[in-house]
């Protein structure tokens, strides 16, 4: 294999054949497992309970196994164990009848989760290309990556949709069945030898389900892949596509063997498939105890299940299962090209993908820009053309408070987009593509230009309409404060949504936090009057307070305002300063009233950056520990 691979650069035709050869599995001939058991503590009774109990099975290269059973029977649990994602299980698994190192095994397998986690604003081809770039090491040449993408597009019937967007809630894309095929194809890009799929047909109608499974079967046969897929209620036609069936109920085996043997087996048990009935439906009915009559202890359905389970145990059930040889095996010296891309290329690839996503995705990008612009026009016209008179001082202060607080508040609009990115991260991390650091770093950098754009647009509209201090430097300092405000607010969203990855909860908590920052920021209640709890626990970590203070100093330091009346008729100044004699107010007097020192720009900016860093580091830790 190594020889042919290294020859693959010599010519185009050879590259094509070697690529096909590469995708072909000639490494893994069989996957078998025996006595797989997972015991957990039951949530209600606190007693040990077997979620999976002594399950055996064996699949050969090119075969596709259906894992069936009523919901809650342990299908997902077993798949996770077989894929090596659950470390607390017991039993043995063997590849080619020999035990295998976990790290090698991981490179041979891929997992397609039940929920599609696709980036809606990428096309089908882009999705696969990014999957290739994230999952494949540099040693796989670019041309070969391209060939693999094209082969998978062809194999999964996506040729016509190759350049169509996947689709977002507000932008129609490909169909549900096509999405599922993209999910499957993107897990095949690394040329795994064993593929696990959790309910690849859930949510699809029977035609789309049949399509997914038949394409999968064809691919498995062509490439000698081992496929294990859980499936719920397949149609008769879909059911017949599988080679083997493992039927579970309450974590125990009810049948394992050829699909063609199912009907005869249950007939022998005295439970034949009725004429005209779909055999898969029949066996699910037989093993489902959900609708057992409650009046009798261990109703008829439970009794029947016990009969089926013990019948399976009695018949020895070992005819199809080889005995694994338990020793370290080195049958896989050649898993080169199966490694991951782990390097600096990952954050760059993620950045590119986020970039495509954000400028194509109306919700995360343009709707937010429009929203901020709407707010800017509203503020600019409500606080229209204030002048440097005493009467307008409070309006200036209010505009600064409202602008900084509301801009920060609007960051809640980022929650759904972040949760979507996080879902994709969780899936790709589980597949070993990259860790939380790459995700956090790319997420941070992709946000900066966008937030800067909003700050500058927002300030351009509001600053001059409201008539803040007319000075170029003051304008840019104002922009900087808006920018830091937005970066901090978005960092808070990242932290909260990483801790509580639920739309409603994250939204509520971010809104609450913003309400808190407004209340303790020193504007609504002067800092000196805040009681000690709010002041010492929250005021000093309130980023909005620093933004408001910074903007206040920027506006009032170096500007004077006219008092009411005039020197002749008598003059009354709301803020006493050295300029009272000239019937004017020095802006510094306003700052003194709020207890805001001047000349601390560097220090305040430093504190802001510190708060942002802390939020991001905490967000990283939340993602790191919350698996
Ligand atoms: N960590 C756990 N502790 C206790 N019970 C669990 C745990 N994980 C899953 N279960 C329970 O195990 C059963 C099997 O779950 P699952 O494998 O998801 O079933 P399926 O995929 O067949 O619907 C369910 O009843 C579920 O509530
Ligand atoms: Mg499940």
Domain extents in the chain: 2-114+193-328, 345-555+598-625, 558-596
Which has the minimum average pLDDT: 102-111, 292-301, 358-367? 292-301
Distances (CA, A) of 20 to 145, 149, 241: 12, 12, 24
For residue 461, report the distance from its CA to the centre of ligand 2, in Å.
Answer: 52
**Which tens digit of pLDDT belongs to each residue from 362-420?**
766 788 889 999 999 999 999 999 999 999 999 999 999 999 999 999 999 899 889 98
Q: What mean pLDDT is predicted for residues 71-98?
A: 88
> Which has the higher per-residue pLDDT, 492 or 92?
492
Instruction: Please tell me the class of the 2-114+193-328 domain.
Output: alpha beta
**Which tens digit of pLDDT belongs to each residue from 115-150?**
888 888 899 999 999 999 888 887 788 888 899 999
Task: Enumerate the H helices of 288-414 as residue ranges.
Answer: 300-314, 345-360, 366-382, 390-409
Which range in 309-318, 415-424, 501-510 is most confidently predicted, on average pLDDT? 501-510
Quote the pLDDT of residue 22.
58
For residue 40, report the distance from its CA to the centre of ligand 1, in Å.
Answer: 10
SS3 255: strand
**Which tens digit of pLDDT belongs to each residue from 441-480?**
999 999 899 999 999 999 999 999 999 999 999 999 999 9
Q: What is the mean pLDDT of the chain?
A: 86
Q: Is the pLDDT of residue 6 over 60?
A: no
Question: Taking CB atoms and a 6 Å cutoff, what residues make up the pocket around ligand 1?
Answer: 40, 43, 51, 69, 71-77
Q: What mean pLDDT is predicted for residues 312-330?
A: 53
Percent of the chain residues topping a pLDDT of 90: 56
Q: 90-95 and 30-41 as β-strands: parallel, antiparallel, unpaired?
A: antiparallel
* Count of residues in the chain: 627
For residue 251, report the distance from its CA to the centre of ligand 1, in Å.
Answer: 9
Confidence of residue 292 (pLDDT cuts 50, 70, 90): low
Burial-class residue 525 by CB neighbours within 10 Å (0-12, 13-18, 19+): middle
617 Cβ contact list (under 8 Å, min separation 6): none
For residue 92, report the distance from its CA to the centre of ligand 1, in Å.
Answer: 21
| Probe residue for ligand 1, chosen from 37, 74, 289 as the CB with the greatest number of ligand atoms within 8 Å | 74
Please tell me the residue having the least CA distance from ligand 1 atom 25.
72
Q: Is the pLDDT of residue 281 over 50?
A: yes
Distances (CA, A) of 186 to 127, 361, 431: 7, 21, 11
Q: Which of 170, 166, 190, 189 is nearest to 179 (CA)?
A: 166
Q: Is the pLDDT of residue 624 over 60?
A: yes
Confidence of residue 483 (pLDDT cuts 50, 70, 90): very high
Quote the pLDDT of residue 616.
96
What tokens appear for 202 in the block? 């859930």
Neighbouring CB atoms inside 10 A of 329's CB total 16
Q: Is the pLDDT of residue 4 over 50?
A: no
Contact status, residue 522 vs residue 543, Cβ threshold 8 Å: no
Confidence of residue 23 (pLDDT cuts 50, 70, 90): low
Quote the pLDDT of residue 330.
44
Quote the pLDDT of residue 342.
55
Q: Is the pLDDT of residue 20 over 80?
A: no
Distance CA 487, CA 492 (A): 9
Q: Which of 69, 40, 81 is nearest to 249 (CA)?
A: 69
Q: Is the pLDDT of residue 319 over 60?
A: no
Q: Is the pLDDT of residue 21 over 90?
A: no
530 Cβ contact list (under 8 Å, min separation 6): 520, 522, 539
Q: Is the pLDDT of residue 505 over 80?
A: yes
Beta-carbon-side half-sphere exposure of residue 78 (alpha carbons within 13 Å): 35
Instruction: Tell the residue number behind the tokens 């600064």, with chain if given.
Output: 400
Distance CA 29, CA 47 (A): 40
Looking at ligand 1, which atom is closest to the CA of residue 73?
A: 22
Quote the pLDDT of residue 1.
35
Per-position DSSP letters for 2-43, written without gaps between them: HHHHHGGGS-HHHHHHHHHHHHS--S--EEEEEEEEEEEE-T
Contact status, residue 213 vs residue 229, Cβ threshold 8 Å: yes
What is the Cα 396 distance to its own chain's centre?
42
Quote the pLDDT of residue 626.
80
SS3 78: helix
Distance CA 445, CA 450 (A): 10
Q: 560-562 and 194-197 as β-strands: parallel, antiparallel, unpaired?
A: unpaired
**Which tens digit of pLDDT belongs to each residue from 410-450?**
999 899 889 989 999 998 888 888 889 999 999 999 989 99
Q: What mean pLDDT is predicted for residues 217-240?
A: 94
Q: Is the pLDDT of residue 339 over 50?
A: no
Please tell me the residue having the least CA distance from ligand 1 atom 8.
77
Q: Is the pLDDT of residue 343 over 80?
A: no
Please tell me the residue having the least CA distance from ligand 1 atom 3.
40
Looking at ligand 1, which atom is closest to the CA of residue 248?
A: 22
Percent of the chain residues topping a pLDDT of 70: 90
Quote the pLDDT of residue 513.
95
For residue 576, report the distance from its CA to the centre of ligand 1, in Å.
Answer: 71
| Probe residue for ligand 1, chosen from 51, 89, 111 as the CB with the greatest number of ligand atoms within 8 Å | 51
Q: Is the pLDDT of residue 163 over 90?
A: yes
Going by the DSSP 8-state scheme, the letter that residue 196 receives in this structure is E
> Which has the higher per-residue pLDDT, 247 or 297?
247
Quote the pLDDT of residue 11.
38
Looking at ligand 1, which atom is closest to the CA of residue 42?
A: 4
370 Cβ contact list (under 8 Å, min separation 6): none
| Probe residue for ligand 1, chosen from 77, 79, 233, 248 as the CB with the greatest number of ligand atoms within 8 Å | 77
Distances (CA, A) of 245 to 59, 63, 66, 306: 10, 11, 5, 19
Q: Which of 598, 617, 612 is nearest to 408 (CA)?
A: 612
Q: Is the pLDDT of residue 326 over 70?
A: no
Which range in 37-41, 547-551, 570-574 is most confidently predicted, on average pLDDT? 547-551
Burial-class residue 456 by CB neighbours within 10 Å (0-12, 13-18, 19+): middle
Q: Is the pLDDT of residue 53 over 60?
A: yes
């Amino acid at each position: 294999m190594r020889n042919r691979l290294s020859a693959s650069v010599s010519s185009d035709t050879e590259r094509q054949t070697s690529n096909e050869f590469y995708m072909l599995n000639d490494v893994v001939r069989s996957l078998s497992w025996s006595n797989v058991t997972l015991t957990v503590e039951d949530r209600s009774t606190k007693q040990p309970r077997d979620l999976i109990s002594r399950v055996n099975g064996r699949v050969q290269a090119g075969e596709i196994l259906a894992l069936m059973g009523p919901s809650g029977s342990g299908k997902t649990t077993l798949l996770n164990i077989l894929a090596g994602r659950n470390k607390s299980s017991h039993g043995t698994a063997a590849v080619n009848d020999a035990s295998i190192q976990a790290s090698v095994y991981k490179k041979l397998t891929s997992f397609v989760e039940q929920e599609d986690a696709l980036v809606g604003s990428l096309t089908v081809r882009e999705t696969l290309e990014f999957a290739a770039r994230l999952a494949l090491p540099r040693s796989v040449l670019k041309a070969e990556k391209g060939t693999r993408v094209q082969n998978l597009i062809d194999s999964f019937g996506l040729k016509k949709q190759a350049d169509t967007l996947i689709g977002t809630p507000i932008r129609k894309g490909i169909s549900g069945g096509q999405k599922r095929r993209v999910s499957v194809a993107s897990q095949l890009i690394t040329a795994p030898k064993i593929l696990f799929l959790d309910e690849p047909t859930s949510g699809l109608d029977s035609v789309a389900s049949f399509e997914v499974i038949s394409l999968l079967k064809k691919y498995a046969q062509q490439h000698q892949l081992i496929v294990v897929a859980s499936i719920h209620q397949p149609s008769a036609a879909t059911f017949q596509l599988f080679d083997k069936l493992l039927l579970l109920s309450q974590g125990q085996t009810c049948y394992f063997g050829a699909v063609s043997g199912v009907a005869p087996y249950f007939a022998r048990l005295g439970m034949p498939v009725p004429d005209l009935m779909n055999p898969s439906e029949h066996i699910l009915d037989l093993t489902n105890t959900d609708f057992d009559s409650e009046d009798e202890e261990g109703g008829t359905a439970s009794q029947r299940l016990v009969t089926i389970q013990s019948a399976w145990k009695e018949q020895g059930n070992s005819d199809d299962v080889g005995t694994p040889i338990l020793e370290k095996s080195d049958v896989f010296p050649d898993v080169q090209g199966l490694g991951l891309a782990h390097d600096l290329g990952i954050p760059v690839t993620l950045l590119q993908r986020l970039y495509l996503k954000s400028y194509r995705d109306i919700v995360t990008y343009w709707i937010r820009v429009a929203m901020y612009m709407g707010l800017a026009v509203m503020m600019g016209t409500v606080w229209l053309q204030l002048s440097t008179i005493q009467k307008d001082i409070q309006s200036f202060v209010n505009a600064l408070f409202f602008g900084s607080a509301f801009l920060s508040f609007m960051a809640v609009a980022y929650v759904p987009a972040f949760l979507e990115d996080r879902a994709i991260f969780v899936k790709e991390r589980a597949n070993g593509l990259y860790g939380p650091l790459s995700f956090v770093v790319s997420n941070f950098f992709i946000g900066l230009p966008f937030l800067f754009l909003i700050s500058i647009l927002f300030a351009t509209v509001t600053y001059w309409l409201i008539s803040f201090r007319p000075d170029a430097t003051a304008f840019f300092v104002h922009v900087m404060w808006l920018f830091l405000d937005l970066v901090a607010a978005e960092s808070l969203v990242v932290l909260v949504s990483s801790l509580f990855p639920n739309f409603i909860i994250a939204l509520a908590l971010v809104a609450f936090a913003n309400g808190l920052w407004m209340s303790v920021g020193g504007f609504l209640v002067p800092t000196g009057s805040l009681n000690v709890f709010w002041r010492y626990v929250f005021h000093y970590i309130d980023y909005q307070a620093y933004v408001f203070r910074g903007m206040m100093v920027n506006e009032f330091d170096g500007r004077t305002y006219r008092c009411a009346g005039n020197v002749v008729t008598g003059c009354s100044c709301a803020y006493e300063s050295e300029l009272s004699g000239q019937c004017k107010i020095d802006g510094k007097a306003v700052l003194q009233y709020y207890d805001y020192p001047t000349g601390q720009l560097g220090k305040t900016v430093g504190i802001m950056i510190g708060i942002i860093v802390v939020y991001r580091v905490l967000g990283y830790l939340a993602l790191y520990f919350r698996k």
